[in-house]
């Protein structure tokens, strides 16, 4: 059965901390892995990863895929209260998108 697992389920940090969110997957016919940020509304796209070992960066956020380990990490440096959200990982296979249950990040001032 194809599945995507995210860890931790929830995380509380102080402003300025660096966090690492994990996503592991077991799927057949992997095509790509996507990260989304969801606040109190619809998910917004962060990154799409298809190649192993190539880091994608956007400001304080970065992500990398490890196809050998079947996993990806999302790093957020110098966290801010505006980073508080649920971070979703999704894996695209040949026919399906599978989402993890998300990591709930809370950044305390």
Partner 1 sequence: DAGVIQSPRHEVTEMGQEVTLRCKPISGHNSLFWYRQTMMRGLELLIYFNNNVPIDDSGMPEDRFSAKMPNASFSTLKIQPSEPRDSAVYFCASSLRVWGTSGVSYAEQYFGPGTRLTVT
Taking the complex as a whole, how short is the minimal distance between the CB of residue 2 and partner 1, in angstroms? 11
Residue 67 or 92: the one with the smaller Cβ distance to partner 1 is 92
Rounded CA separation 3/26 (Å): 5
| Matching residue, tokens 């990982």 | 89
Rounded CA separation 62/64 (Å): 7
Taking the complex as a whole, how short is the minimal distance between the CB of residue 103 and partner 1, in angstroms? 11
Residue 49 or 73: the one with the smaller Cβ distance to partner 1 is 49
Q: Output the six-digit token pair for 27.
A: 């799927």
Please report, as ranges, the residues that interact with partner 1 according to CB under 8 A: 31-32, 34, 36, 41-45, 48, 50, 88, 90, 92, 95-102
């Amino acid at each position: 059965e194809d599945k995507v697992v995210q860890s931790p389920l929830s995380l509380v940090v102080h402003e300025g901390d660096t966090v690492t969110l994990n996503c592991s997957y077991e799927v057949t016919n992997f095509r790509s892995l996507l990260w989304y940020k969801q606040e109190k509304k619809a998910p917004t796209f962060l990154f799409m990863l298809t190649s192993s070992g190539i880091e994608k960066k956007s400001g304080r956020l970065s992500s990398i895929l490890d196809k050998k380990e079947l996993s990806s990490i999302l790093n957020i440096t110098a966290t801010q209260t505006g980073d508080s959200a649920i971070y979703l990982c999704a894996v695209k296979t040949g026919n399906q998108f599978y989402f993890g249950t998300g990591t709930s990040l809370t950044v305390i001032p």
